[in-house]
Amino acid sequence: MRLLIGAIATGIILAFLLMSLGEEMTIYTDFQTAAQNPSKTYHVVAEWVEREQSYYDPRRDIFYFKAKDSLGIVRPVIYPDPKPINFEAAQRVVLIGKYQDTAFFAEKILMKCPSKYKEGATSSPSASLSLP
């Protein structure tokens, strides 16, 4: 009887954990999919475009810019902080947030290291060592 109660309790805990994780998980997608589901949080891999049109509003502490996703769709992005450090150097960024109205509201911006996108670049530390 104790074994049965323990198994049921374990099953309930596992079900609760899986449901909680499912709500917290975000999905990598494009702007179009994010716009169709404005209540969900998404990761959108994009590149910064039309750089001369981006600006920071210090009174509202908001950085406005345009980004192009993997499908080539360009959309305005609103980020509630100053422009991130090394933003100009990043070839691609991961925008984490939700699509609302006509813009993507990024809660976080993750920079992608430019070396990851260079041809011939390797992540192996031994590859940069020269052997005699």
* pLDDT tens column, 70-105: 999 999 999 999 998 888 888 889 999 999 988 999
> Can you tell me whether residue 59 is helix, strand or coil?
coil
Radius of gyration of the chain (CA): 21
CA-nearest of 53, 57, 46, 54 to 109 is 46
Beta strand 62-69 with 93-100 is unpaired
Given pLDDT bands bounded at 50, 70 and 90, which one contains residue 132?
Answer: very low
* pLDDT tens column, 50-77: 888 899 999 999 999 999 999 999 999 9
**Where does 27-117 sit in CATH, by number?**
2.40.50.140
* pLDDT tens column, 24-37: 556 788 999 999 98
Q: What is the residue extent of each domain of the chain?
A: 27-117
Mean of the per-residue pLDDT values of the chain: 80
Measured in whole angstroms, how far is the alpha carbon of residue 71 from the centre of its chain?
16
Residues 6 or more apart whose Cβ sits within 8 Å of residue 48: 54, 65, 66, 67, 87, 88, 90, 93
Please indicate, yes or no, whether the overall pTM of this predicted structure exceeds 0.85: no
